Amino acid sequence: MLSSPFVQRVKLALSFKGLSYEYVEENLQNKSHVLLSSNPVHKKVPVLIHNGKCICESMIIVQYLDEVFAGAGPSLLPADPYERAMARFWAAYIDDKLLSSWMMAFRGKNDEEKEEGRKLSAAVAENLEGALRDCAKGKPFFGGDNVGFVDIALGGFTAWVHAVEKIYGIKKFDAAKTPLLAAWVERFGALDAATAVLPDVDVLVEVGKRRQAESDAAAAAAAQGN
Ligand SMILES: N[C@@H](CCC(=O)N[C@@H](CS)C(=O)NCC(=O)O)C(=O)O
C-alpha cells in the first residue's frame, strides 16, 4: 500500500541496507488470501515474507532485517545497549503518539477535539526535537552519522509531512519551533536511498484529500442523524 507510512518504513530499511525484494501491492478494501493468512492477527500491511516465514509489524520487520542482514549496509540499531534501549523507546513513542495526534487534529469529532489534537501534535514534535538533539549529539541523524532505527521509524512519515503541508497549509515540523526536526526532514528526504522508495508527495496529497472528504461526509451524516 503506497501511502502507508508503515510500509514506507520497511521499504526505507530495505533501501538503506541495499537489499532487493519483491513488492506486492495490497488492496485493503479486498484483502488478499496472502495478507489474511500471513498476518491473521492484525490483517494489516506491511508483512515481510522471508524464506517462507511471515514477519508482521513495521518496526519488528525493520529490526528483523537489521539482525538477519547484519552485514548489509549500516547497522540500524546501535551496538551500545543503552543507546539501543533509547532508540527503541523513541520508535515506540512515534508509534504511540505521532499518527494518533495528527488524526485527532484533522479528524477530531468536534472543534475542541481538533484543538486538543493540534496541541498534542505540537507536544510530540517538541519531544522529538529533544530526542533528535540527545540521540544525534550534533550529528545529522538520530542514528548519528548514519540513518538508524529512529530515522526509519520517523522516516516513514516524511512524505506525509510534505503532503500535510500541501493539503492543510500546516507545517508539522516547523523550523520556527522545532528547527532540528525541520532540517532533519529535508536532510532525510534528500538521501538517495530515501528518494528511491518514498512515494510522490502529490499522490499522497490526492489520497489525503480524498480521505478528509470521506471523513467530513461521515461526520456530516452523523450530525444529521442526531
Ligand atoms: N502497527 C502496524 C500498523 C500497520 C497499519 O496500520 N497498516 C494499515 C495501513 S497504513 C493497514 O494495513 N490497515 C488495514 C486495516 O486496518 O484493516 C505496523 O507498524 O506495521
All structural domains of the chain, each given as residue ranges with its CATH number in brackets, are 5-68 (3.40.30.10), 81-201 (1.20.1050.10)
212 CA to centre of ligand 1 in angstroms: 18
CA-based nearest residue to 150, from 76, 79, 96: 76
Atom in ligand 1 nearest the alpha carbon of residue 61: 20
Among 9, 44, 58, 94, residue to substitute to test ligand 1 (most atoms within 8 Å of Cβ): 44
Q: In testing the pocket of ligand 1, which one of 1, 3, 6 has its CB within 8 Å of the most ligand atoms?
A: 6
pLDDT along the chain (226 residues), means of 10: 96 97 96 97 98 98 97 93 97 98 93 96 98 96 97 98 96 96 98 98 97 90 81
pLDDT at residue number 225: 79
Task: Please list the residues that pair with 47 across neighbouring strands.
Answer: 56
pLDDT at 175: 96
Residue with cell 485527532: 104
* From 25, 42, 98, 100, mutation site for ligand 1 pocket: most ligand atoms within 8 A of C-beta: 42
Read off the C-alpha cell for 109.
469529532
Q: Which helix (H) or strand (E) holds 47?
A: strand 47-50
Q: Cα of 57 to ligand 1 centre, how many Å?
A: 8
Going by CA atoms, what residue is nearest to atom 6 of ligand 1?
A: 44
Give the pLDDT confidence score for residue 222 in this predicted structure.
Answer: 85
Distance 80 CA to ligand 1 centre (A): 30
What lies within 8 Å, CB to CB, of 110 at 6+ separation is: none
Q: Which residues line ligand 1 (CB under 6 A)?
A: 1, 4, 6, 28, 43-46, 57-58
Q: Which pLDDT value is given to residue 226?
A: 64
Q: Which of 35, 67, 45 is nearest to 156 (CA)?
A: 45
